[in-house]
Amino acid sequence: MSQSYGKTRWKRFALVMVPSVAATAAIGISLANSALAASFSISGQSFKVTTDDLHGYGFTQFGGVDASAPDSKGVKTYHPVAISGFDSATIKNLCQSVDTNLGPLGHWTLVLNAGQGDKQVEATNLMLDVEQLNADATFYDINIGQDASTLKGGAVDKYKADGNALPTGAQGFAQAAREAHLTGVQQTAWATSAGTFKLAGLKLNIKQGNGAGVECY
């Protein structure tokens, strides 16, 4: 029988991914001991994403860590993330924005829009490395608390084929669902990857400034 957890607002990904303070502490200890390998290197800039509607199949989610490229002293910065996968997904009214400080030129924001009106974005083997998420979410046939090493699906297979290992043991808390439907999505992410990413009606603009009214939110 399908299990539907309707209209559940995710204030932060930790409320979904981490069921206890002990689990949060485990992530901190793992970071200190370098027990969690970074999924891949990132630019060191997070970005904002909004969408009116994300409908996906083959949903998986587990914890991970992304690492920025080394600075001038060879030091990396690590970012704990919730890695959410969809074997396939459709997205309506997608906005993605990246704020960059150009020093004397001030802040400039790159804004990408797609899937507006009667068009939609289509993705396969989509992986999202999310730091923060707000949305209304409904899951179907969901399993919460399974070991991440047991996750299956096209998105997970691509993740492993890209040279990443699924977490196990104390770091292996995961969840999976046959289908997931999210509306009113606002998220801050460090990385996105996909097997295919079809951006219907793509528009890209560079706007002066940052914050509300310039970025996606």
pLDDT confidence of residue 67: 87
What pTM, to 2 d.p., does this model score? 0.81
**pLDDT for residue 149 is more than 80:** yes
pLDDT confidence of residue 41: 67
Instruction: Give CA–CA dist 183/136, Å, rounded.
Output: 5
Instruction: Give CA–CA dist 125/197, Å, rounded.
Output: 9
Over residues 108-144, the pLDDT tens digits come to 999 999 999 999 999 999 999 999 999 999 999 999 9
pLDDT confidence of residue 15: 39
Radius of gyration of the chain from its Cα atoms, rounded to whole angstroms: 17
pLDDT confidence of residue 70: 86
Close Cβ partners of 2 (under 8 Å, ≥ 6 residues apart)? 140, 141, 178
Residue 8's pLDDT band, with cuts at 50, 70 and 90, is very low
**pLDDT for residue 211 is more than 50:** yes
pLDDT confidence of residue 147: 92
Over residues 14-29, the pLDDT tens digits come to 334 443 344 444 445 4
Residue 1's pLDDT band, with cuts at 50, 70 and 90, is very low
Q: What is the mean pLDDT of residues 173-200?
A: 95
106 within 8 A of 76, measured Cβ to Cβ: no
Indicate the average pLDDT of the chain: 84
Q: What is the mean pLDDT of residues 95-105?
A: 94
Residue extents of the structural domains in the chain: 8-208
CA angle 142, 19, 50 (to 5 degrees): 65
**CA 154 remoteness from chain centre:** 16
**Bigger pLDDT: 115 vs 168:** 115
